[in-house]
Copies of this chain bind each other. A is one copy, B any other.
């Protein structure tokens, strides 16, 4: 270090003077709760030197021990890691109304009761932070509420469920769905009951939260169309690879001329898409806006220490900004929620290897308003495999074309249709 820097350092404080502890009440003591408790203890000195205040756990509420009333009484910040709606909702509301800052990792709670909680926090002038509720340690909540709050976000694409991304990565390497799921369960990346993950419901709740942050419109799980990965077969992934496509469970939240559309579907991505290379249990989110082109953020979407790190980042911001109402939140507006947006589709079917087949299939698509972008036909003895990618059209038009194609005499099996996310750059 130069002499000048040395002299400057002397006039600068070495760390903030510590003004007293900040008492933190923990609700829930599962994997994440235990990781948060131990991380607060390990990093207490570092946080004290950053913020001037030392975080200290004032109490832990579990199913079998602790009293919420006592913890509330002793805490300036409440961290909710119980999950689910009740009793979490009641505790969080009571804490906010009593003027406590709240940090939560609870996506269901924010998705279903966000407006009630935001309003309660606003009335008490306290902070409500929930980075860990979406995409774990990937800082998408902070970036949407803070870095990008001043610009008009156009679209968000997200891989926000690590379980399904892990399964699809395994299927891309050749495993079938059942084996890939079993592998995810054995590796600890899928629950014994994987329904919420594989159905797309978990991703849908997270995309609803991101849509609220980006567009201001409250979105609940019931407002989001979602489709899971249970019906996918490894053939879908193998054939598509020849077209340079990779298959992910993609959540989309976008601003359209008539309103906002939030949905979750399996979708093919071209190799150049920033989400195409996100493998295994990782999460990633791409935010598009005219002003920024696009930002992509990726990282582990789950795991005890990772989720605890996201909670700790929120806690640190609460402590360093205590007394401020926290990061901005778009005022709630009621934009129309659109059921679906146009999409390009990948179609895959087995057909008789005869002249005129391609013309007939293309003719049905053409009459349905779907123009064909790329075609791959390959002979298989008497049959041929026909793979097509369409230009964007509505799902209803696509479904009606698929029905009609399935009834053509030379088509051996109903076409399989999966969305394709087009490159914009």
**Chain A interface (Cβ < 8 Å from any Cβ of B):** 1-2, 4-6, 8-9, 11-16, 39, 43, 46-47, 49-51, 115-116, 118-119, 122, 131, 137-139, 142-143, 146-152, 218, 220, 272, 274, 277, 279, 289-300, 303, 305-306, 308-310, 312-313, 315-317, 320-321, 323-325, 327-334
* Contact residues in B for A274 (Cβ distance below 8 Å): 277, 298
Given contacts A119-B12, A150-B43, A323-B324, contact A309 B292 (CB under 8 A): yes
**What's the Cα separation between A5 and B148 when bound, in Å?**
25
A320 to chain B, nearest CB (A): 5
CB <8 Å contact, A5 and B115? yes
For the complex, give the distance between the alpha carbons of A104 and B2 in Å: 24
Minimal Cβ-Cβ distance residue in B for A331? B15
Contact B300 A297 (CB under 8 A): no
Copies per complex?
2
Q: Chain B contacts of A43 at CB under 8 A?
A: 150-151
A13: B residues at CB distance < 8 A:
122, 331
Interface pairs A-B: 4 shortest CB-CB = A295-B299, A15-B331, A147-B313, A50-B328
State in angstroms the CA–CA spacing of A135 and B119 once bound together: 35
B334 contacts A1, C-beta separation under 8 Å = yes
Determine the chain B residues whose CB is within 8 A of the CB of A328 once the complex forms. 50-51, 316, 320
Is there contact, CB below 8 Å, between B218 and A12?
no
- Residues of the B chain whose Cβ atoms lie less than 8 Å from the Cβ of A306: 291-293
Are A131 and B150 in contact (CB-based, < 8 A)?
Answer: no
Q: Report which of B2, B16, B131 forms a contact with A331, defined as CB distance below 8 A.
A: B16
Query: In the assembled complex, which residues on chain B have CB atoms less than 8 Å from the CB atom of A143?
Result: 139, 142-143
Check A292/B296 contact, CB under 8 A, given A12-B122, A316-B150, A332-B9: no
> Which of A146, A298, A325: most chain B Cβ within 10 A?
A146
Whole-angstrom distance between the Cβ of A308 and the nearest chain B Cβ: 7
Q: Given the complex, which residues of B lie within 8 Å of A303, measured CB to CB? A: 293
C-alpha gap A116/B321 in the complex (Å)? 23
- Once A9-B332, A297-B297 are accepted as A-B contacts, the answer to whether A291 and B305 lie under 8 Å apart by CB is yes
Known contacts A115-B12, A150-B313; is A1 also within 8 Å of B218 by CB? Answer: yes
Q: How far is the CA of A11 from the CA of B119 in the complex (A)?
A: 7
Chain B residues with CB under 8 Å of A298's CB are: 274, 295-297
